Structure 1
């Protein structure tokens, strides 16, 4: 049975129901799943994971790539980042998820939603340090084998500590490290609020850049919108 509605919308509906009804989220997740013809949320999530494009997207990435993963809020970009880590683990590759947005507990919970048990996963590292920046990322990945996958959440706040180098300098350092090490670095990125949604998934020109960054440093991008996923490689 196919999951025809994007899962981020189903989760949003479940959270709204839980808030409105004052009941636990797991109960409304199961309710939403039953409305989609699944007995439990876990069954819906498993089917969604089977259908998700993370494995296909990962296959289009090459060792040493610096990848931008962009979408507007609520479109599932961070979940796809988690799923890319899961797809790497399934392919016996090391993966690292670094977040300046979520706590360790939140990341663990979100990984569980995509079928990854952080406590049991071999080859997975989660880093939620406030010190995350280019130098921190490079140090954390210093021993990562070629082809490992690291997802950073997210691009636009890597320089939120003004004592750190400018964002452009950090991205250049990450691009050089990826090329030298063969690690695939995926940077989750925000998209401008004035993005014209009716045109389909966003593009390079829609990336929100409060501070200048040379987007030519990225080898490819993954753009999401309304359930559609588009992978774009630099010419």
Structure 2
């Protein structure tokens, strides 16, 4: 480690009182190895950039190596020395670097060490800037999350590249697993709790962004809670971000469904001794499920990502539900767009990246525009997704909830079930499905929407299921 009063490679001045992680001998070893055996340069460039060199002179020399490489020229000792001389660096200094190492065998390991030192330096500067940001304004948390992502992911790393043969082997193993699940009549992915939906979608998969959209009062939250309970019942830990409703209200809705208690009586506190017995039994069952509720209002996607990463490290995040998109906060720096459609696009993109990074399904609830209510045919369309066409682009699957009874429509087309009564029934429209088919799936629900089942089953007051046929 060095204490020095000099210019950093990024041009900032460093005072002698500062103590920053750096190693001049390690920098010389990397440069010397590349001058002796320049065939390693491509690999090293996949690990570090010029900013990994704390010494500004060393950073310039590495930049010369890269520029020569980009031009297709051989970055040998003579050529680099001449280029360095033109930039005011003594050729003798360049030649002296080759004395720091005998060969290029360890150059990749040395480059990774430089990348680590650079990250640590950036964290030190980040901490100082964070202190200033925290005193200056309320958006320090979102800024910090973005900066940490940039710092920890800044080093380019070819280690993430994988031979297609290895990827194909995993693909075939996954196909075999899905075949076995199909032959045994099991859901391939995380069950939705609706067998017809499982058959069409295969259940939820890691990395998927699922948009669950509807107009207000159609049952978005009710269906989301049903999906959460179904997934958790099979052992998948679920994290629910409720931006509109407090945790107690969400838990109460789940408890009403699990116990079969009358929703109106539950809200009014008008429960009997028999109701209490069912409620306590339902609470005991729900309490064992791996579901975590977070009702922080005005939370942004960077904060949601930070929470999910922390919870996944604890084994608590196997699926994420966000209720709902239009209530997700936008960090101040992103409000510069001055365009709500662009802001929503940023949120949906962040949700997709979250699903991919954590390898879990993210179910993002969304409001549909009023265009639905202005048409004679109230069936939702992809064009009804409110405020952003990017939502459709980012989503792996788009589901619409449609309850014709809300619009006074007495009957509707239920696909293979024909024309059915709208009372106690609704329709899920799979409008987009990257890995399967689209179409209508009818479902049944009780009056309070606390129980949702396949159309073949009928929710009863006691939370049991009777077959319809």
Place the TM-score, normalised by the shorter chain, in its bin.
Answer: 0.5 to 0.7
User: Cα 1:195–1:131, aligned 2, differ >3 Å: closer, same or farther?
Assistant: closer
Match of 1:96, SS state, is strand
User: Cα 1:164–1:152, aligned 2, differ >3 Å: closer, same or farther?
Assistant: farther
Give the superposition deviation at 1:75: 1.2
Equivalent in 128, 132, 148 of residue 318 of structure 2 = 148
Is 1:163 matched up with 2:362? no
Equivalent in 269, 282, 287 of residue 120 of structure 1 = 287
Aligned residue for 1:220? 397
Counterpart Cα distance in 2 of 1:80 and 1:201: 18
Match of 2:231, SS state, is helix
Is 1:134 matched up with 2:301? yes
Aligned residue for 2:433? 233
Counterpart Cα distance in 2 of 1:156 and 1:149: 20
Is the 1:220–1:234 Cα contact (8 Å) retained in structure 2?
Answer: yes
Choose 143-152 or 165-174, whichever is displaced more: 143-152
Alignment of 1:141-220 (within 5 A): 141-142=308-309, 143-144=311-312, 148-159=318-329, 163=332, 165=334, 166-195=343-372, 198-199=376-377, 201-209=379-387, 213-220=390-397
> Which structure dedicates a bigger proportion of its chain to helix?
2
Equivalent in 194, 198, 223 of residue 55 of structure 1 = 194
Aligned residue for 1:111? 254
Bigger-Rg structure (1/2)? 2
TM-score by length of 2: 0.35
Counterpart Cα distance in 2 of 1:96 and 1:64: 15
- Runs of 4+ in structure 1 off by over 3 angstroms are 53-60, 116-119, 196-201, 211-214
Counterpart Cα distance in 2 of 1:91 and 1:147: 14
Counterpart Cα distance in 2 of 1:67 and 1:149: 11
Give the superposition deviation at 1:233: 0.7
Give the superposition deviation at 1:121: 3.3
Aligned residues: 181
Q: Which runs of 5+ in 2 are unaligned?
A: 1-191, 259-281, 335-342, 404-425, 436-469
